[in-house]
Amino acid sequence: MITELLLPAKSPTMTEGTLVAWKIKPGDQVAIGQVIAEIQTDKAVLEWESSDAGRVAVLLAEAGQQLPVNAVVGLLTTKPGEDTTAAVAEAKAKNAALAAPVAAPAPAAAPAAVPAPALLSAPTAAALSAPLPAPTAKPGKSVRASPVAAKVAAALAVDLRKVTGSGPDGRILRRDVEAAAKDGSASFASAGATAPPKPKLKLSRADGPAQADLPLSPMRSVIGKRLLESTSTIPHFTVSETIAAERLADLREQLAAADVKITVNDLLVRASALALRQHPKLNAAWLGNAIRQFDSADISVAVAIPDGLITPIVARAHTKTVRQIGDEVRALAKKAQEGRLAPAEFQGGSFTISNLGMFGIAAFTAIINPPQVAILAVAGIKDVPVVRAGAVVPGKQLTVTLSADHRAVDGADAAAFLKTLRELLEAPALLLI
> What is the full DSSP assignment across 293-323?
E-SS--EEE-EEETTEEE--EETTGGGS-HH
Provide the H-helix boundaries in 38-173.
Answer: 85-102, 147-156
pLDDT at 105 (0 to 100): 45
**Are 141 and 161 in contact, with CB atoms under 8 Å apart?**
yes
Distance set, CA 407 to CA 164, 204, 271 (Å): 53, 45, 25
What residues pair up with 417 in beta bridges, in sequence order? none
Looking at domain 234-432, its CATH class is alpha beta
pLDDT at 169 (0 to 100): 67
For residues 342 and 241, give the distance between their C-alpha atoms in angstroms, rounded to a whole number. Answer: 35
Over residues 362-377, the mean pLDDT reads: 96
pLDDT above 80 (res 206): no
Which residue has better confidence, 374 or 185? 374
Domain ranges of the chain: 2-102, 114-191, 234-432
Out of 49-58, 181-190, 215-224, 380-389, least confident range: 181-190
Out of 87-101, 274-288, 399-413, 419-433, least confident range: 87-101
pLDDT at 210 (0 to 100): 67
Which residue has better confidence, 17 or 371? 371
Q: Is 129 helix (H, G, I), strand (E, B) or coil?
A: helix
* pTM for the whole structure: 0.65
Element (H, E) at 255: helix 246-257
Taking CA 330 as the corner, what is the angle to CA 324 and CA 336, rounded to the nearest 5 degrees? Answer: 130
pLDDT at 214 (0 to 100): 80
Q: Is 349 helix (H, G, I), strand (E, B) or coil?
A: coil
Over residues 321-325, the mean pLDDT reads: 95
**Are 30 and 73 in contact, with CB atoms under 8 Å apart?**
no
Distance set, CA 355 to CA 226, 358, 428 (Å): 20, 8, 18
- Tell me which residue of 246, 239, 278 sits closest to 401, measured CA to CA: 239
CB neighbour burial string for 287-297, b if at least 16 within 10 angstroms, e if fewer? eeeebeebeeb
pLDDT above 70 (res 263): yes
C-alpha distance across the termini of the chain, in Å:
61
Angle between helices 246-257 and 264-278 (to 10 degrees): 130
Which one from 236, 279, 318, 406 is the annotated catalytic residue?
406
pLDDT at 84 (0 to 100): 87
pLDDT at 198 (0 to 100): 47
**Which phi and psi angles does 417 have, rounded to 5°?**
-60, -45
Which residue has better confidence, 107 or 377? 377
Out of 54-58, 100-104, 225-229, 266-270, least confident range: 100-104
Over residues 80-100, the mean pLDDT reads: 86
**Are 159 and 143 in contact, with CB atoms under 8 Å apart?**
no
- Tell me which residue of 320, 304, 287 sits closest to 407, measured CA to CA: 287
State CA 240 to chain mean position distance.
Answer: 28
For residues 90 and 92, give the distance between their C-alpha atoms in angstroms, rounded to a whole number. Answer: 5
For residues 281 and 74, give the distance between their C-alpha atoms in angstroms, rounded to a whole number. Answer: 47
What CATH number does the domain located at 2-102 have? Answer: 2.40.50.100
Task: Return all residues near 130 (Cβ < 8 A) that are at least 6 apart.
Answer: 64, 111, 114, 115, 116, 196
For residues 224 and 226, give the distance between their C-alpha atoms in angstroms, rounded to a whole number. Answer: 6
For residues 39 and 428, give the distance between their C-alpha atoms in angstroms, rounded to a whole number. Answer: 43
**Are 374 and 290 in contact, with CB atoms under 8 Å apart?**
no
Active site residue 406: yes
